[in-house]
Structure formats: C-alpha cells, structure tokens
C-alpha cells in the first residue's frame, strides 16, 4: 500500500470503526508466511482472515462463498 502498510491501516480502522454503521469484513492478504504475522492477524478482532499470496480464483470464491463457478 502506498501510504500505509496493512498493520497501520488496521490500527487506523480500529480507531474509527465506531463511526461506521455498515458491516465491514477485512481480509488481510499478504506475501508473508511468517507465523508471527499470521498469529498477529488472528489476534486482531477486526481481521476476518489472513490469506497468503498468491491469490487464486479458488481463494476468492471461498471468500465470497461461491461453490460453483465457470472458468
């Protein structure tokens, strides 16, 4: 991200989330496979899941609950 990294974003989001009326789901997508990063994300309530890159169509479909798709 050009202005802040994902950790900085989640810190900022946490400070303003009480002002947001719509439900927001956050998936952290990272190239990091560091267990410390994965554990850190799991311990942050606002993060729904930590997904390691590369993204695949299967991972995207899983996020959106798509069980059948045409390739």
Per-residue model confidence as pLDDT tens digits over 38-49? 999 999 999 999
Per-residue model confidence as pLDDT tens digits over 16-33? 999 999 999 999 999 999
What is the SS3 assignment for 52?
Answer: strand
Task: Tell if the pTM clears 0.75, that is, is over it.
Answer: yes
Cα–Cα distance for residue pair 19/15, rounded to 1 Å: 9
């Amino acid at each position: 991200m050009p202005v802040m990294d994902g950790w900085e974003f989640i810190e900022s989001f946490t400070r303003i989330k009480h002002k947001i009326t719509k439900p927001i789901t956050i998936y952290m997508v990272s190239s990091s496979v560091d267990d410390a990063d994965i554990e850190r994300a799991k311990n942050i309530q606002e993060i729904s899941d930590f997904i390691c890159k590369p993204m695949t169509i299967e991972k995207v479909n899983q996020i959106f609950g798509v069980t059948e798709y045409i390739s």
